[in-house]
Structure 1
């Protein structure tokens, strides 16, 4: 699932060819420049990502950007370590050699996170989908979650029994303006529904419970928390079909940040050792929600 750094992928064939060219009748090989070069590159990368060597905004501190905390991403304040992204950040920090006391949180808006402006953080963790358009303005780490867009309706509403996309035709659908829910809703229904953008998911959910819209589309994991914690008279009836490539969330960094490769390596390590799977199981509850077709 995780792509390894391009430099390693390019070097591997060259190393193999170097070994084949140097072998002679089973005799021990002389020094192999290709292997030495690869080892030197790996050593240099490890040194660059060593604790205390990262060029963070403040020496010895990892500054993390996030918006207003809400479940399942943050339970309580981001400093709690509770919730999927809060726990993720502390796990990444640990991989990079930073203790809990070395992590400082900065409250930012979603627009600040995805804009090309210089960031007041080293990395941001705020449910940011990796897209080609955004990648022109910011860097992303390796993805830490593959996500889907969920459809939330009121328990006593007209669409409470919806089990297909067709069942929701004619509905007033709320989406979050700057996020991928808009594209997913347009791809799913086209002109068969009336789409209303909201500046924040909470605004859309408030509109749903008041009857201003009939359904709300948002990240399904966010939707599960919204329907069980914040708006208990609502339910997630299903997810929308993916648009193009599956949606994946990544940590956000400044464009061409010197930290990007190190942060990606940390995420990759957490995927490889099962930490990310454990965090998904502990904090996200969306595995059994069906896709609407």
Structure 2
């Protein structure tokens, strides 16, 4: 009888130990914990945007969005070694957040009323403008010149929609990424590429394209780049906003902008005020 009691007690202790170990293991791998510790954090970025988010051949990442993401993650308690960058293309950003694939997204993600219905935003942390990239000898000088011309943009981007309103007779071609659009522009398959001037400047400054393209400087829109967060996660939004304020005030924001956009002679706007959308 005594042996039976001791065995039952031992089994109970063993069960508690196993449960505790399982819980500890789950927490160590969580990407949604409030601090770093031994865990990881998954952050959505673009892989094909020079100057903003670019995956290098050796597997490392570069660009202003990458620097912002790394700084913010640091303020949340994560070391660079704890960051896992996940590719999030324009058309899948909202889904990636709702599925929980990433904790937040820093990917030239313009804040719009439509998107705010699906996700929450911290920021804005950068103000860009929609523009057109054309070949250096192109006769295109304004948006209406695109009527009857071939225009390339990316699926899920708001840029193409704005151009169609300006030039209803434009022949629109949508690709999955900007790299394909730039290659099409270089080959003559399309006549222009539209997206934010920050992205276009990054491509135009790449060595294989240098001197071939020009930005028209049209400033067709104000693009307030925000950091996308899962809808309802107010705590994370507030923490990110605090991190962005610190990034501006300690000079890191300006240093990183000049490092990533300086070579392209890109005339960037001053750091926007956190929480203030420029219409």
TM-score (norm 1): 0.68
C-alpha contact (below 8 Å) 2:36/2:78 kept by paired residues: no
Q: Which deviations, in whole Å up to 9, do the C-alpha atoms of 1:168-198 show, x marking residues without a partner?
A: 55422222231121133124x2325333333
User: Of 246, 252, 255, which residue of structure 1 is paired with 2:231?
Assistant: 255
Asked if the contact 2:91–2:157 (Cα under 8 Å) also holds between the matched residues in 1, the reply is: no
After TM superposition, the runs of 4+ consecutive aligned structure 1 residues lying more than 6 A away are 56-59
Question: For 2:181, what is the secondary structure of its paired residue?
Answer: helix
Match of 2:150 in 1: 172
User: Could you tell me which residue of structure 1 aligns to residue 105 of structure 2?
Assistant: 124
SS at match of 2:163: helix
Q: Distance in 2 between matches of 1:176 and 1:237?
A: 18
Extract unaligned runs of 5+ from structure 1.
1-52
Partner Cα distance (2:255, 2:176) in 1: 32
In the other structure, the counterpart of 2:188 is: 211
Q: Does structure 2 retain, via aligned residues, the 8 Å contact 1:81–1:90?
A: no
| Alpha-carbon separation, structure 1, partners of 2:268 and 2:52 | 19
Q: Which structure 2 segments of 5+ residues have no match?
A: 1-31, 270-279
Contact 2:35 2:78 in 1 (8 A): no
Aligned match for 1:64, one of 32, 43, 52: 43
Q: Calculate the aligned-residue CA RMSD, in Å.
A: 3.1
For normalisation by structure 2, the TM-score amounts to: 0.71
1:127 counterpart SS class = strand
1:152 aligns with 2:152: no
Instruction: Provide the C-alpha distance between the structure 1 equivalents of 2:216 and 2:136, rounded to a whole number of angstroms.
Output: 14
Match of 2:212 in 1: 234
Q: How many residues align?
A: 232
Q: Note the C-alpha offset of 1:104.
A: 2.2
